[in-house]
């Protein structure tokens, strides 16, 4: 995914509560048994333009951060925003990183939704679990598949209304990487995948329309 002009503003206008998500995700991880340690290693998988990194540096400047993203443009935007101090930058995927039990915690925001459920989602989650120390925790946030409900049409309309009320005026080509070609799954499927990958059952920590956040822990 490229880094369109005004990417962070677009995402805030697209996703209810996005402006607080990075703060919440970092606070959750900082309260975990392993990542609460001074100087803990934390992985940001799919760092984008660096929203979670900005918050991590503010809340936990002692963390040793590793930021990865397959997009050179996203990494460049994040590096320009944050510099290099305390952050190791890698243009790669978590599968290619091959970091066995290196991290006390990890953050993954709006990444799993873009991966097809043909083994690719499971490979991503398995690599994340493998990268964590036993007992390490992951904060995972993604667009989820809607449950069957007679009110779903209203929910969909409310999402469009939220975007208009937020002043979303991005060009369609700017929105396509965020809204097209996604592969959301339901909670039952997510639970099956994270269990197979080596995590405990997901605990929901955030929900706004179709976007949900979960706290996962690598099994001991």
Q: Is-above-0.75 flag for pTM? A: yes
Averaged pLDDT for residues 44-70: 96
Task: Tell me if 1 is assigned to some domain.
Answer: no
Structurally, how many domains does the chain consist of? 1
Task: Tell me if 134 is assigned to some domain.
Answer: yes
pLDDT in the model for residue 169: 67
Task: Tell me if 87 is assigned to some domain.
Answer: yes
Task: Tell me if 97 is assigned to some domain.
Answer: yes
pLDDT in the model for residue 13: 79
Task: Tell me if 2 is assigned to some domain.
Answer: no
User: Mind listing the pLDDT tens digit for each residue in 133-164?
Assistant: 999 999 999 999 887 778 878 887 887 888 78
Averaged pLDDT for residues 77-101: 93
pLDDT in the model for residue 180: 64
Averaged pLDDT for residues 119-123: 98
Averaged pLDDT for residues 92-109: 95
pLDDT in the model for residue 127: 98
pLDDT in the model for residue 163: 79
Average pLDDT, the chain: 89
Which residues is 103 bridged to in the sheet? Answer: 132
Domain with 192 in it: 7-217
Task: Tell me if 14 is assigned to some domain.
Answer: yes
pLDDT at residue 4 is higher than 80: no
Indicate which CATH number applies to the domain containing 84. 3.40.50.150
The pair of structure tokens assigned to 187 is 């909670």
């Amino acid at each position: 995914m490229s880094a369109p002009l005004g990417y962070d503003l677009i995402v805030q206008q697209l996703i209810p509560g996005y402006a607080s998500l990075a703060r919440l995700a970092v606070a959750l991880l900082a309260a975990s048994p392993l990542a609460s340690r001074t100087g803990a290693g934390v992985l940001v998988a799919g760092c984008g333009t660096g929203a979670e990194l900005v918050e991590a540096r503010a809340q936990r400047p002692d963390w040793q951060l590793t930021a990865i993203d397959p997009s050179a443009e996203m990494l460049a935007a994040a590096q320009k925003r944050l510099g290099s101090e305390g952050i190791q930058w890698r243009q790669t995927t978590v599968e290619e990183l091959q970091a066995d039990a290196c991290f006390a915690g990890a953050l993954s925001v709006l990444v799993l939704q873009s991966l097809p459920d043909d083994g690719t989602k499971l490979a991503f989650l398995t690599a994340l679990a493998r990268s964590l120390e036993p007992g390490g925790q992951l904060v995972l946030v993604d667009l989820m598949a809607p449950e069957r409900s007679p009110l779903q049409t209203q929910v969909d309309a409310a999402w469009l209304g939220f975007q208009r009320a937020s002043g979303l005026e991005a060009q369609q080509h700017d929105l396509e990487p965020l809204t097209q070609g996604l592969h959301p799954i339901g909670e039952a499927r997510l639970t099956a995948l994270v269990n197979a990958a080596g995590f405990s059952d997901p605990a929901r920590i955030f929900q706004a329309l179709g976007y949900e956040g979960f706290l996962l822990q690598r099994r001991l």
